Structure 1
Amino acid sequence: MNNRPIRLLTSGRAGLGAGALITAVVLLIALGAVWTPVAFADGCPDAEVTFARGTGEPPGIGRVGQAFVDSLR
């Protein structure tokens, strides 16, 4: 069997480069968690209700239509 230790990084430059890369990734993740932008939405628009009344009912929203609109509020 080969008893030589395994060398993951063969030079000092590679070690520095890997360390710098890891540091940059950690900093970007940390800054992203701290400086996450907050979304602002416009207020909810008013709802428009279209209600069909019966043929024999007088004009207007009527008794059933008013109950429907009240239930939406």
Structure 2
Amino acid sequence: MSKDDALEQFIRRAVFGVWQPLGARRIGDASDPQAVVDPVGNVIGIGNIDVADVSGMPRLPTATCPPS
């Protein structure tokens, strides 16, 4: 086996993608039955819980979104 073949096999075994859902939660107010959080990150219908991750971002940023 050549070094190139061995390197390719290693890369295929070791490298994988990570998908971070972006914009997966609907942002809105309590009157919107589809909204999960309000515009400042408060979970609708559950007191004292805030959400701060990229799943509530309405637009894709031009930078990496690391898992939160």
TM-score, L = length of structure 1:
0.29
Q: Which has the higher Rg, Structure 1 or Structure 2?
A: 1
TM-score, L = length of structure 2:
0.31
Bigger relative contact order, structure 1 or 2 (CA pairs below 8 A, ≥6 apart):
2
Write 1 or 2 for the structure with the bigger share of helix. 1
